[in-house]
Amino acid sequence: METDWSKVLEVFGSGIIGVFLVMFLLQILTQLSTRVIDAVENRGKSADVETDQSVVSAKD
């Protein structure tokens, strides 16, 4: 059977590029989501600290 070389090159090229693109996209989204979560969690923590400080000063 004759090999369809244009198909081979298509699979080869689209495969390599496709895997890198998908993984790169996943990298960006993972970085983005972790940063957003970090920001939200840090904000939550600083809000808790502020609340604690206001409770302490109210007691004083």
Binding residues (CB under 8 A) for other proteins: these are 1, 3-4, 7-8, 10-12, 14-16, 18-20, 22-27, 29-31, 33-34, 37-38, 41
Question: Of 33 and 51, which CB lies nearer to other proteins in the complex structure?
Answer: 33
The Cα 35–Cα 40 span in angstroms is: 9
Smallest separation (angstroms) from other proteins to the CB of 48: 15
Distances in whole angstroms, Cα of residue 18 to Cα of each of 6, 12, 29, 30? 17, 10, 16, 18
Question: Of 20 and 53, which CB lies nearer to other proteins in the complex structure?
Answer: 20
The Cα 29–Cα 33 span in angstroms is: 6
